[in-house]
Chain A
């Protein structure tokens, strides 16, 4: 087990290094000088040069890469070009919006997907199953930003139940903040819920076909009891894996939703970092997201291997 963990850890480190090189390389190619952008049209060349010096933009590629990576290892993500504050502060402030939003969206989608998937599996082939399958197909096909626009039109502009966006800040009130995250979470949750429901359904159906379930049925358990007592637990495993993967997708994928609802989250931070050529912010946040995904995969791999020795062969 230990050897397995070690090899996987080495693999993880290599992936991280490779990722950092790729990210750094891509970002450096971006045209557009952050200093000119910050100072605007009428700035003199010497002012721009002074700012470039201040921002540390004049070092060699290699030295800048090394500085960046060594900084990240100690938690120093550099200073944002645009805001002149540590990137780690920016990230920390934004995470408190993106993370709750992702959790909220995940909660909504699992709350919907589980019962829906269960029912569809239990009533396979019947009308309700077909309806559910049809609806989930629709749910996958709807672009979440379009759905968001419709939600705003109906619930914010017409009914005035919610504000059209914005985030008051956690200090202003927990319920108020949750309220402002509701429409965005619903918009994010729709396609997720649809996918999860379908996976839930097929996972349960797969498990139901397994021998041990047939045995349970042969022993006299009803369909429902078979599902509840045996199938569900095992059906959940692939579903949970998917949820884990969806989480990082939600964090990054909310980039458009955050724009529609003007939420100051990680997605918007990256988006505006790109448009403002705040390279440090973009590099660091992308690296963070990639890191999160790789770590999650690593942990999942280890957990599976710990549970199922067959998986340690690789």
Chain B
């Protein structure tokens, strides 16, 4: 899933049906005044609640229906759970399934579920619900954004109340990981209809309130089947404006802001003992995507020239204020199989100009640079455009909203260059799709990816992944810029928040206050 987080506001009004507007308003004012007058004492005993800042508000709360990462930020691991789940370090752990057996041919997975698990509305969670969830996700008319995760499933069979057998059409080494994604959480047929506004899951927190445009509140699930959590309640406050985020954090309106949007203000927090700044990783490779079928960029020499015209550190400093690790290929540097290929595309504008001449463009050429909304793209784009201008490539900037970007760049492939962060973990496989938006078509690479999927031996996989990284680096398919950093500003008394972002989530299950 790309860094696709549309700015959005939630929906439902809290006007009870049948109320007249006037009555509602008058009643609210009366109660509010009463509360205001009576609540003069604010107690700060041992804290069991937390207020978390979030940049984007989810449009709804159903992680199986839409693409917004903001949905998972609220519900993943808190309200909804899947068969397996991501941990803070990126590894996969059992969740609703306590264990599983894989058949020798790799085609059958038998999951053994925990017993006595209940949904928040009291109904019990069993194998039927798993079958319902997976069948719903892979159905013809499913609107699940990650349908590909379920595509290989040929059947889901209920063996008994706590045993489910899933049969695949072909072996898939990543299947267990796939089931940990937010789009694969287990839901119940009785409550899925209203999940968008009243999510009912199996997690340690229950949805309690949503004030549109302002916040979502969740509270502890006392009937949780698993390990009890430390927090009694949590509030997610939506603040998209970086200045406002800074002000809110400084003023103490927020306790934590994972994925803090104003890197330029981080030094002020780092210097203040009340706060701790955590720098972590995401799975987001931020790349200068290049249309490999464009008249200029179809030539390898031109792509190589592009690579050498770019000064990664300038982009990291100028756009991300120093946060982010340079990458030389489409792979996360914190991953053990990563190889550092940044040398292939080191900053050398003279070489760049020479290559352009050799390719037949001694005076450079014009192209388009279409940028989606995130600041890494907008700011990074301005910097790259200036760097390209210095070698003669005139890139005309178009700042697009996501909807337009999707239409023009992603679907229409009508662009020369763009900048986007691919936040799915281990997604080097996208280079094996010739119709994917950068249109790289290399049969050798495609074969390599097919072999990789079928391969389960770790050392062979490792060698294949390294080979894959080399191929796309030496083919200069895209400009590999940096791995997106995840910086969080947190009250120093809080522990347990994820440093990294192996998947979209604000996992509160392990979070607590230290005093």
Contact = CB atoms under 8 A, between A and B. Distances in A.
Interface of A: 31-34, 36-44, 46-47, 50-51, 54, 80, 82-85, 89-90, 92-94, 96-97, 149, 152, 156-157, 160, 163-176, 259-264, 268-269, 272, 275-277
B6 A170 contact: no
Given A37-B406, A262-B239, A174 B148 contact: no
Given A41-B1, A80-B11, A173-B33, 7 more contacts: A37-B402, A89-B15, A160-B251, A164-B246, A164-B247, A171-B211, A262-B213
A42 B11 contact: no
Contact of A172 (B11, B13, B32, B406): B32
14 contacts: A37-B6, A41-B2, A41-B410, A46-B140, A50-B143, A92-B13, A157-B247, A164-B244, A165-B247, A166-B244, A168-B214, A174-B36, A259-B241, A260-B241
B12 interface: yes
Contacts of B213: 94, 97, 167, 262-264, 268
A163 B11 contact: no
Interface in B108-157: 140-148
A171 B248 CA distance: 21
Contacts of A262: 213, 238-241, 244
A28 to B, nearest CB: 15
Contacts of A176: 36
Nearest to A81: B59
A54 B15 CA distance: 26
A80 B240 CA distance: 22
Given A47-B144, A268-B9, A32 B404 contact: yes
Contacts of A37: 6, 402-403, 406
A81 B472 CA distance: 39
B248 A47 contact: no
What DSSP secondary structure best describes chain B's contact surface? loop
B142 A47 contact: yes
Given A41-B4, A43-B67, A170-B29, A32 B11 contact: no
A170 B246 CA distance: 24
B60 interface: yes
A269 B246 CA distance: 24
A41 to B, nearest CB: 5
Interface of B: 1-2, 4, 6-15, 21, 25, 28-29, 31-33, 35-36, 59-60, 66-68, 140-148, 196-197, 211-214, 237-241, 243-244, 246-248, 250-251, 253, 373, 401-404, 406-407, 410-411, 424
What DSSP secondary structure best describes chain A's contact surface? helix
Contacts of B11: 80, 83-85, 89-90
Contacts of B68: 40
A85 B14 CA distance: 12
Contact of A50 (B141, B214, B237): B141
A151 to B, nearest CB: 12
B267 to A, nearest CB: 16
A156 B247 contact: yes
Contacts of B141: 50
B2 A90 contact: no
A281 to B, nearest CB: 10
A187 B2 CA distance: 37
Contacts of B13: 89-90, 92-93
A42 B214 contact: no
A32 B407 contact: yes
Given A37-B402, A47-B143, A262-B244, A84 B60 contact: yes
A80 B10 CA distance: 11
Given A93-B212, A262-B244, A85 B12 contact: yes
B426 to A, nearest CB: 14
Nearest to A38: B66
A260 B240 CA distance: 10
B36 A173 contact: yes
B34 to A, nearest CB: 10
Closest 7 pairs between A and B when the two form their complex, measured CB to CB: A264-B213, A40-B67, A164-B247, A83-B11, A32-B403, A85-B11, A93-B13
Contacts of A168: 211, 214
A311 to B, nearest CB: 34
B454 to A, nearest CB: 22
Contacts of A165: 239, 241, 244, 247
